[in-house]
Amino acid sequence: MKLISGGVCAAKGFRANGVHCGIRKNHSKKDLALIVSEKKAAAAAVYTTNLVKGAPLTVTKNNISDGYAQAVICNSGNANTCNANGIEIAEEMCQLVARETGISASDVVVASTGVIGQPLDIAPIAAGMEELTAGLSIEGGAAAAQAIMTTDTMAKEIAVEFTIGGKTCRMGGIAKGSGMIHPNMATMLVFITTDAAISPAMLQKALSHDITKTFNMLSIDGDTSTNDMVTVLANGMAGNEEITAEGWDFEAFMEALNTITVQLCRMIAGDGEGATKLLECVAVGADTEEAAKTAAKSVICSSLLKAAMFGADANWGRVLCAIGYSGADVDVSKIGVSFKSAKGEVVVCLNGAGVPFSEEVAKEILLEKEIEIFVSLGDGPYGATAWGCDLTYDYVKINGDYRT
């Protein structure tokens, strides 16, 4: 397993592009992305559990109900949610891809991100399709990553190379996500591609299992979006024997997928709206995995803890407080807490009570850009990791006039 360049175009047979078509007023920002596979690919997806869902999710779910897809189109600047003609617009986006590429409209994953409740005009998308498809290339992953951004300050892409059955396989992904991040299934928008051969059923199994320990353990602000979706396309062009059951090959595939998703989680958390720090809570020693996950995510979601991290204040009581109301079945008298960063580690709590520590040393540790909150829950065998960011003044500024 090694990191490589290329993003969603690292795997064989994938091309991508991103352009500005006119959905967004800022002409310097791309707002339309397209990813195309040379061959039809096995497809899997997970969707938001929010009852209010963007129309593209409904269309995508229908399109990949047979387990296959060949392209992904996504616009930014408008979420296509709560629109009377939303389904019609999403379907028309698929038809535009079909018209320009020859791919069946029913083999297109469609996604949108941006403001909720604003009418989405198909005209700029239609006008931009020729440029979008003409520019498809194996170097186009970065442009696609830029085109799906909203309040993100950086494009998020990663790729890995791994081996299955003696064949070299590649997997890459791009993501957007900065605010309205508190997934309960998947998260934000994430598009992953691979040339590994795997059946649709096993691909869905891999994705559905992975998100429980990655994207579902990520939170920026506690708001579950209406358009969250993670999709994976696997076109089989690496030439490995198709994975149709659990075993060593499936484990290797899962490891590659987890490498991609963990890194994207970290990128999203570190780029949270207004964020200055990436927070990672590692909870160990729980009697059950659920207790570890519940405790870790509660800490990451605590607005008080997030604010303390912004101020580099080692207010460990907020960690215990968050665990206490989380609902996790833990023995409070066994909890230990320490803060870690590139500057070192400071233990602040043992057996549920404070211990003497240097406030000056703690502040130096918490002034770093990446902070680990290490929580020991006892001597159980289970652990979990959650990701988030600090809460800053800029988060309110960004969301105070997000629509206007």
The CATH number given to whatever domain includes residue 28 is 3.60.70.12
Note the pLDDT of residue 143.
98
Residues 340 and 237 in one domain: no
- Residue 175 sits in the same domain as residue 310: no
- Of the pLDDT bands very low, low, confident and very high (cuts 50, 70, 90), residue 334 is very high
| pLDDT (0 to 100) of residue 401 | 82
Q: How confident is the model at residue 227 (pLDDT cuts 50, 70, 90)?
A: confident
For residue range 214-223, what is the model confidence (pLDDT) as tens digits? Answer: 999 998 887 7
> Residues 24, 153: one domain?
yes
Long-range contacts of 303-311 (CB under 8 A, 24+ apart): 303/222, 303/391, 305/373, 306/279, 306/388, 306/389, 306/390, 306/391, 307/390, 307/391, 309/277, 309/279, 309/366, 309/371, 309/390, 309/391, 310/276, 310/277, 310/390, 310/391, 310/392
Per-residue pLDDT at 39 exceeds 80: yes
Q: What percent of the chain has pLDDT over 70?
A: 98
Per-residue pLDDT at 128 exceeds 60: yes
Domain stop point among 219, 249, 270: 270
User: Does 311 lie in the same domain as 209?
Assistant: no
Task: Report the pLDDT value the prediction gives residue 148, as an integer from 0 to 100.
Answer: 97
Q: Please state the rounded mean pLDDT for residues 32-59.
A: 95
Are residues 130 and 256 part of one domain? yes
Residue 367, domain CATH: 3.10.20.340
- Same domain? For 56 and 135 the reply is yes
Instruction: Kindly give the residue spans of alpha helices, DSSP state H, lying in 35-81.
Output: 55-63
Quote the number of domains for the chain: 2
What value does the mean pLDDT take over residues 149-162? 95
Which residues are identified as catalytic? 187
10 with 156, same domain: the answer is yes
Residue 184 pLDDT grade (very low, low, confident, very high; cuts 50, 70, 90): low
- pLDDT tens, position by position, 372-391: 999 999 999 999 999 999 99
User: How far is Cα 143 from Cα 147, in angstroms, rounded to an integer?
Assistant: 6
In this structure, the answer to whether residues 356 and 255 fall within a common structural domain is no
Residues 253 and 122 in one domain: yes
Same domain, 124 and 256: yes
Domain boundary among 238, 270, 302: 270
Q: Which domain, by its residues, includes 182?
A: 2-270
The reply to whether 210 and 315 lie within a common domain is no
pTM for this structure?
Answer: 0.94
Q: How does pLDDT run across 77-121, given as a tens digit for each residue?
A: 999 999 999 999 999 999 999 999 999 999 999 999 998 999 999
DSSP annotation of 8: G
pLDDT of residue 359: 97
Does one domain contain both 196 and 333? Answer: no
Average pLDDT taken over every residue of the chain: 95
Considering the chain, what percentage of its residues have pLDDT values greater than 90?
A: 87
Q: Among 270, 288, 316, which residue terminates a domain?
A: 270
Poorest-confidence range of 106-110, 186-190, 281-285, 357-361?
Answer: 186-190
